[in-house]
Amino acid sequence: MSRPRVLIIGAGLGGLALAHGLRDAGVDHLVVERDASVRSRRQGYRIHINADGSTALYEVLPKRLWELFRATASIPGPVGEFYDHRFDVVHRFEADGSARTVHGLPEHLNVNRLTLREILATGLDTVRYGRTFTGYRRDADGRVVAHFADGGTETGDLLVAADGVHSRVRRQRLPHARVVDSGLRLIYATVPLTPATRPLFPEGMFGGYSAILGPKHRHLGGAPVEFAEPLSRTASRIAADASLTEHRSYMTSAFGARVEDLPDDEELFAMNPSALRGLALDMMDDWHPRARRMVEHWELSSVLPLLLRTSVPTEPWPASEVTLLGDAVHAMSPAGGSGANAAMLDGAILAARLREVRDGKPLLEAVAEYENAMREHGFAAVRMSADNGHRMLGQDPLPPA
């Protein structure tokens, strides 16, 4: 199979990373995404990029886009702190100067999710937006036929589920794989970093991710994303074909609580941004005034509720012409800051294995090697994130595999 055709369902970070890797390898591929565009739906704001994420991006991105990623990434400060709800420091960490770098970048970075997705979408003419995947079958030749809600089909030698935690591909390919409620809900928002708001945040909240830990497992997490110049100017200097949505520097702010302390999901997800902010403030009634002022400065247009789910690690399955990556197979709590990195690492690993298929390796052998690596690092990240979430935030313990 010198030139397999790969169908990728989903144009999130993992699916787009895979597409770039396949483009570089000269492997025929098509990405199909249900959203109308890369900007159609808010999925969050700041994400943490670790060594796995930076390495994956370095391996799959063209040089100009790698440099654009470097220029738009935010480097955390050297001091980080966690606080209790009275704003007393309960944990402090400082960079010791020995932290390793990854291709010239610090090991830990903060990036704006949409900016990274726009960078990953740049230069790809193989992405088709506005098509909803409904299921797949195999044809008489054993190839995979993907069906879409518009009545159309696409045929390929390999189907890749990159369609997130609600993956329709996973439900068909691995119906026994479980995704469970973490027991936590977040109200997510941003605070623009201006001369008026910056003093709200102590130095220890500019060192990556920090959190104010309150009673009853309530918490207010935060992390900065800062831009040195307008994003359009950065893109024009480095990758003129990249179209980046402008963002001001901001502090991500996320209030979290146990599900039993909140309105039911139907009511919670029907609340408008002002009501969500009011709910968070009501649940922080006895917190330090500084913490409450942070929430009072939420940008209302940015406020949204999130239901946190996690996959349950699954026993290995035999390789086939349908595989999975990212949240479609190992969704995880954000408490480990690993989800996006794991998805992009999946994309880079799978692209490398499919390059070998182009050069003569049997497809199922390559898929098996990829899935072994994906399960090892992906499910380890699920367990780590669930453990952190349970210890620090009151997340439900991860069920047994």
Q: Compute the average pLDDT of residues 279-285.
A: 98
Is 400 part of a structural domain of the chain?
no
**Whole-number pLDDT of residue 336:** 82
Half-sphere exposure of 174 (CA within 13 A, CB side): 27
CATH no. for residue 124?
A: 3.50.50.60
Q: Compute the average pLDDT of residues 253-258.
A: 97
Sheet strand arrangement including 158-161: 127-129, 28-33, 5-9, 158-161, 322-324
Q: Compute the average pLDDT of residues 92-117.
A: 84
The model's confidence at residue 27, banded by pLDDT at 50, 70 and 90, is: very high
Tell me the backbone φ, ψ of residue 300, rounded to 5 degrees. -60, -35
Residue 286: count of CB within 10 angstroms of its CB: 10
**Whole-number pLDDT of residue 99:** 62
Is 399 part of a structural domain of the chain?
no
pLDDT tens profile 6-24: 999 999 999 999 999 999 9
Is 318 part of a structural domain of the chain?
yes
Whether residue 338 is predicted with pLDDT greater than 60 in this model: the reply is yes
Is 398 part of a structural domain of the chain?
no
Backbone angle region of 253, left / alpha / beta, with phi > 0 → left and psi within -120 to 50 → alpha: beta
User: What total of structural domains would you count in the chain?
Assistant: 1
- pLDDT above 90 covers what percent of the chain? 91
Higher-confidence residue of 346 and 100: namely 346
**Whole-number pLDDT of residue 1:** 57
Is 401 part of a structural domain of the chain?
no
**Whole-number pLDDT of residue 221:** 95
pTM: predicted TM-score of the whole model, two decimal places: 0.96
Whether residue 95 is predicted with pLDDT greater than 90 in this model: the reply is no
According to DSSP, the residues that pair with 216 across neighbouring strands are none
Ranking 100-104, 142-146, 154-158 by mean pLDDT, the lowest is 100-104
Q: Which residues fall within 8 angstroms of residue 3, CB to CB, at 6 or more apart?
A: 26, 27, 28, 358
The model's confidence at residue 101, banded by pLDDT at 50, 70 and 90, is: confident
Is 218 part of a structural domain of the chain?
yes
Structural domain of residue 157, as residue ranges? Answer: 5-393
Angle at 307 between CA 303 and CA 312, to 5 degrees: 150
**Whole-number pLDDT of residue 98:** 53
**Whole-number pLDDT of residue 2:** 62
pLDDT tens profile 161-192: 999 999 999 999 999 999 999 999 999 999 99
Q: Which residue has the tokens 């992405």?
A: 127
Over the chain, what is the mean pLDDT?
A: 95
Q: Compute the average pLDDT of residues 123-143.
A: 97
**Whole-number pLDDT of residue 94:** 82
Q: Compute the average pLDDT of residues 341-357.
A: 98
**Whole-number pLDDT of residue 3:** 81
| Cα Rg of the chain (Å, integer) | 21
The model's confidence at residue 89, banded by pLDDT at 50, 70 and 90, is: very high
- Contact (CB, 8 A) for 382 and 328: no
- Contact (CB, 8 A) for 392 and 213: yes
Q: Compute the average pLDDT of residues 146-159.
A: 98
Q: CA-to-CA distance for 330 and 240, rounded, in angstroms?
A: 35
Q: CA-to-CA distance for 257 and 293, rounded, in angstroms?
A: 18
Among 205, 194, 190, 164, which Cα is nearest to 82's?
205
What is the Cα 325 distance to its own chain's centre?
Answer: 12
**Whole-number pLDDT of residue 358:** 94
Using alpha carbons, list the distances in angstroms from residue 244 to 21, 38, 252: 21, 11, 19
Is 366 part of a structural domain of the chain?
yes
Angle at 73 between CA 69 and CA 76, to 5 degrees: 155
**Helical H segments across 271-360, by residue range:** 273-282, 289-296, 327-330, 339-358
Among 37, 25, 60, which Cα is nearest to 346's?
60
Is 122 part of a structural domain of the chain?
yes
